[in-house]
Structure 1
Amino acid sequence: MLSESQWRVAATVLPFLADPTAEVTRTFVSQATLIRLPPAATVFEEGDVCSTFAILAQGQVRVFKIGETGREITLYRFARGESCILTASCILSERQFPAIATVETQAEAFVVAHTTFQQWVDTFPPWRDYVFQLLSRRLATVMAIIDEVAFRRMDVRIAAFLIHQSARDGATLALTHQQIAAELGSSREVVSRILADFAANGSVHVTRGSIAILDLPSLAQRAAGR
């Protein structure tokens, strides 16, 4: 059961809980719990049974796959006000979790049991709308990743990734070659070779654990496949 202060946080994360007299709000407050998850904590391993459904109040969780060769690829991340669509899918289809989910930054989450999640989908239209909108948005993200992996060259994908990261973090990125490889489903050796090519063209300057973008227009041309 949530305290009043926890409910107020929940209402900022899920606006349909703002009315304290609404049945969906009263039910959420009585059946949800707030948990804290430290960085690097594993939320789900591949093959786990999804016994709970969580909505993040703060922090960020990464969902990824590891192939037979040991290579990783990031499927998506979710943050405040969001949840894991694979968890929702597994609960609704009664299947095991098909990936790995780990906490990247200190997180707090509102958690409900999987049976409660299913009941609310049937009972409360605002909850059902939230879940289906979440599924719709994240499906588009996953489809974009499939399109990239299947049809775009790795140098194009790395250039686009660096541009995206620089828009958020600035021209100097604290990234290792292995981190980029894990994000994009490649190997460290391939990433290193492509970054060396970018550096030779003057687009970036690469040092240990850091990549500085020197020529954004040149990098944008590579991202466009030119």
Structure 2
Amino acid sequence: MLKELKENYGHLFEDELLQEINNVGTFKEVHQGDELIRIGQYIKSMPLLLHGAIKILREDEEGFELLLYYLERGETCAMTLSCCTGDAKSSIRAIAERDSTLIMVPVEKLDEWASKYASWRSFIFGSYHNRLNEIMDTVDNIAFKKMDQRLLHYLKEKSKFDGNHIIQSTHQDIAYDLHTSRVVVSRLLKQLEKEKMIKLKRNSIELINI
């Protein structure tokens, strides 16, 4: 586990901190689609992502979900941090977008390391800053962009995030992420295909000219 920690966080943390994380952290493997955090759950540990990708979602009172942002290797979740430090219930869901490996750090270590290691403080503040910017982008997309623009933005970001011009998602998956209906997503995707911007395949979408 220490080797993987150094590969992912060695550029951020000193060896002493990496060793502490290795000593107290719990290694965890999850499969695509697994739920890591559910709404209403008390958070007792903070995730550090080693490999894979995690999707962070918000849910309304009727159970509809909205994609907030993704976590990639070398990152943590600011929403989780706020629950950890405030002993509050989680207001988000975390779902494995791909098979992933994480190290779960006990919540009591967050404050201890913040006073002991400047690198840890910088990492935490940087995580808050990055996640806030991503949430603001999500709010802007919902408030100011039409659904076709939101869909284009979603496809671009997911392609960039996956590092692949072929997106492995169903129309229903996209509808869940964008908080809309599958019918709307299918209609807009077909229009994009007519405009030769994408090519629709079974359970996947190939980006051609986006």
TM bucket normalised to smaller: 0.7 to 0.9
Identity, in percent, stands at 25
In structure 2, the residue matched to 1:141 is: 134
In structure 1, the residue matched to 2:180 is: 186
**Count of aligned positions:** 207
User: Which sections of structure 2, spanning at least 5 residues, go unmatched?
Assistant: none
1:88/1:67 Cα in 2 relative to 1: closer, same or farther (>3 Å)?
Answer: same
Letter in 1 for 2:164: D
1:11 and 1:18 in contact (8 A); partners too: no
Letter in 1 for 2:9: L
Deviation of the 1:205 alpha carbon: 4.5
- Map 1:48-197 to 2 at 5 A: 48-166=41-159, 168-170=163-165, 172-197=166-191
Deviation of the 1:27 alpha carbon: 2.9
Q: Which stretch has the larger CA shift, 27-36 or 127-136?
A: 27-36
Deviation of the 1:90 alpha carbon: 0.9
2:169 and 2:204 in contact (8 A); partners too: yes
Match of 2:52, SS state, is strand
Match of 1:105, SS state, is coil
Match of 2:43, SS state, is coil
Q: Distance in 1 between matches of 2:43 and 2:142?
A: 28
Q: Distance in 2 between matches of 1:125 and 1:166?
A: 34
Question: For the pair shown, which has the larger CA radius of gyration, 1 or 2?
Answer: 1
Q: Distance in 1 between matches of 2:104 and 2:204?
A: 37
Deviation of the 1:28 alpha carbon: 2.6
1:158/1:94 Cα in 2 relative to 1: closer, same or farther (>3 Å)?
Answer: same
- Give CA deviations for 1:10-62 in whole Å, capped at 9, x if unaligned: 1222224453xx3x344333322322223322111001101011101112111
In structure 2, the residue matched to 1:14 is: 9
Q: Distance in 2 between matches of 1:112 and 1:94?
A: 15
Q: Which stretch has the larger CA shift, 69-78 or 125-134?
A: 69-78
Deviation of the 1:97 alpha carbon: 0.7
Taking structure 2 as the reference length, the TM-score comes to: 0.85
In structure 2, the residue matched to 1:223 is: none
User: Which sections of structure 1, spanning at least 5 residues, go unmatched?
Assistant: 1-5, 221-226
Taking structure 1 as the reference length, the TM-score comes to: 0.80
Deviation of the 1:213 alpha carbon: 4.6
1:11/1:202 Cα in 2 relative to 1: closer, same or farther (>3 Å)?
Answer: closer
